[in-house]
Amino acid sequence: MPQRSPGKDEPYLLVENVTKRFGSFHALRDVGLAALAGEFVCILGPSGCGKTTMLRVVAGLESHEAGRVVLAGRDVTGLPVSRRNVGIVFQSYALFPNLTASENVGYGLKSRNTARGARHDRVKELLRLVGLTGLGDVYPARLSGGQQQRVALARAMALSPRLLLLDEPLSALDAKVRVMLRGEIRALQRRLGVTTVMVTHDQEEALTMADRILVMHQGMVVQDGSPRDIYDAPATPFVASFIGAMNFISGGRRHPDGTVFLGSRSIRGESGPRIARGAEEAGEVTLAIRPEDVILAPNLTDGPDMWPGKTRRMEFRGGAYRVEVTLFVGGGERGIVADVSAETVRRLELREDMGLAVGLCPDRMHVYRAEPRTEGA
C-alpha cells in the first residue's frame, strides 16, 4: 500500500470522530486526537472515562462504530494491530515469565526471523537504552517492578515502532521509582523521536511529561492543549478541579457591561478574569481561583481586590501551608483554601482564627457559568 509522509505541521497520528459503544453504553463519543511526529501526548482523565478504550482504538485492538485512524499519512482504520507497527506497554508488566529479560525484549525480533547476531546486538542496545545492561539473563520474577517496566518498554521499542502507546505504565510502581522512570521514559522518547501516546489518570505525570494533554471525561475529549494551557485556562469546571486544586466561589455576577462582581467589589486587574465559554452573558457566575493565587495580607488597605476574611484550619505541608480561609462577601461567607509559603506564615504571624484580608488575583481568576453545586475546593 502506498505510504505518504505527512508534512511537517501535519499530524503524524490522527484520530477523527471516533465513536465506540459496548452494547448500549457509549464509551467514546465523537473523540479526536492529533499528534505531530515526535510529540508526547498524554490522555488524562478519571477512571472509566474511556482512556484505555481510546488507546486500544489507536492500536487496532478495538473495533469502533464510526471515525477513522490515520497513521503516517495512511488510513489504518480496520487494520489489525499486527499491521499498524505500534509498540505497546500496558499497566501490568505482561512479560513472559518463562523468558529472560533478553528473550522478552527479543521476542518480536525472533518471530520476524531476524538473524541471530543482529538480534543479539539489537537486544543488547535496547537493554542499554533502558538502563538494564547486565540483567539480560534474569527472569522477570527476579526483577523489581521498575525493572520489569523497563523490559516492557525495551520490548515495545524492539521493532522500531512508528508509534509508542503506553497505558498507565507507571501506576503499579512506588512513588520514587515512578518519578525516576517518568524522566527516563521522556528522555528516551525524545532521543528516539518516537511519537508517543500515554494514558494516565495522574495529573502530575501528565503535566511533567506531556507536550500536549487531552483531558477526557465521560467518553468525551473536554480539552486539548499544552500542560500550561490546561492548567492556566481550564475550559470547564471539571478540568479546573481535575488538574491541580481549584477554589470555586459561588454568587459572582456578570453585569451587562462585562464587569464581574463578587459582593459589592468588582474584579478588574490588568487583563481581568478569564471568561470561560458559556459565561459570556450577564448573570450569575461562579468564580474560580487556584490556592496559590490567593493572597493573604494583614489588612484591607493593602490593595484592591481584597475581601475581609478569617483563617480557619492551617495544614503544614513542609515548605508551604494550606490555609482554610473564610471570605466575607456581602452578607455571606465563602470557604476557600490558600497555599502560602512557610516564610509568609512567619512574616504575617499567621495562626488559626485570625482576621485578615484576602486577595483574589483578578488576572488569575476564571469565570464559569453558575452551576447548581460548585462551592468548595
Ligand X SMILES: Nc1ncnc2c1ncn2[C@@H]1O[C@H](COP(=O)(O)OP(=O)(O)OP(=O)(O)O)[C@@H](O)[C@H]1O
256 to 121, 173, 252, 266, 301: CA distances (angstroms): 70, 52, 13, 13, 29
- The length of the chain in residues reads 377
- The set of long-range contacts for 243-246, using a CB threshold of 8 Å and a minimum separation of 24, is 243/44, 243/203, 243/206, 243/207, 243/215, 244/203, 244/290, 245/290, 245/291, 245/337, 245/339, 245/377, 246/288, 246/289, 246/290, 246/377
Segment interacting with Mg ion, rule: CB under 5 A, options 52-60, 212-220, 282-290, 326-334: 52-60
The residues, ordered by sequence, that sit 6+ positions from 134 with a Cβ below 8 Å of its Cβ are none
Residue nearer to ligand X on the CB measure, 104 or 196? 196
Q: Is 29 left (phi over 0), alpha (psi -120 to 50) or beta?
A: beta
Among 13, 15, 39, 53, binds ligand X (CB under 6 A): 53
Whether 117 contacts 123, CB under 8 Å:
no
Whether 132 contacts 151, CB under 8 Å:
yes
Residue nearer to Mg ion on the CB measure, 168 or 293? 168
Q: Cβ of residue 237: shortest distance to ligand X, in angstroms?
A: 20
3-class DSSP assignment, residue 277:
coil
Q: Cβ of residue 182: shortest distance to ligand X, in angstroms?
A: 18
Q: Cβ of residue 225: shortest distance to Mg ion, in angstroms?
A: 22
Tell me how many residues contact ligand X (CB under 6 A). 12
The residues, ordered by sequence, that sit 6+ positions from 17 with a Cβ below 8 Å of its Cβ are 30, 31, 32, 66, 67, 68
The grid cell for 70 is 490515520
Among 5, 17, 22, 352, binds ligand X (CB under 6 A): 22
Candidates 271, 249, 246; CA nearest to 258 is: 271
Among 28, 40, 45, 52, binds Mg ion (CB under 5 A): 52
Among 14, 15, 27, 170, binds ligand X (CB under 6 A): 27
Residue nearer to Mg ion on the CB measure, 213 or 358? 213
Residue nearer to ligand X on the CB measure, 205 or 293? 205
Q: Cβ of residue 51: shortest distance to Mg ion, in angstroms?
A: 5
Segment interacting with Mg ion, rule: CB under 5 A, options 1-9, 51-59, 106-114, 177-185: 51-59
Q: Does 215 bind ligand X (CB under 6 A)?
A: no
Q: Cβ of residue 204: shortest distance to ligand X, in angstroms?
A: 15
The interface mask with ligand X, positions 32-51, x = CB under 6 A, is -------------x-xxxxx
Residue nearer to Mg ion on the CB measure, 89 or 360? 89
Segment interacting with Mg ion, rule: CB under 5 A, options 16-24, 46-54, 112-120, 261-269: 46-54
Q: Cβ of residue 15: shortest distance to ligand X, in angstroms?
A: 14
Residue nearer to ligand X on the CB measure, 47 or 82? 47
Q: Does 24 bind ligand X (CB under 6 A)?
A: no
Q: Tell me the residue nearest to Mg ion as measured from the CB.
A: 52
Q: Does 52 bind ligand X (CB under 6 A)?
A: yes
Alpha-carbon distance of 170 to 4, in angstroms, equals 34
The torsion defined by the Cα of 338, 339, 342 and 346, in degrees rounded to 10, comes to: -10
The C-alpha R_g of the chain, in whole angstroms, comes to 25
Q: Cβ of residue 172: shortest distance to ligand X, in angstroms?
A: 12
Q: In what helix (H) or strand (E) does residue 178 lie, and over which residues does it extend?
A: helix 175-192
Whether 153 contacts 89, CB under 8 Å:
yes
Segment interacting with ligand X, rule: CB under 6 A, options 7-15, 22-30, 279-287, 351-359: 22-30
Q: Does 201 bind ligand X (CB under 6 A)?
A: yes
Could you tell which of Mg ion, ligand X, none binds residue 22, using a CB distance below 5 to 8 A set by kind? ligand X
Q: Does 53 bind Mg ion (CB under 5 A)?
A: no
202 to 49, 53, 170, 179, 375: CA distances (angstroms): 13, 17, 10, 12, 24
Binding residues vs Mg ion (CB under 5 A): 52
Binding residues vs ligand X (CB under 6 A): 22, 25, 27, 45, 47-53, 201
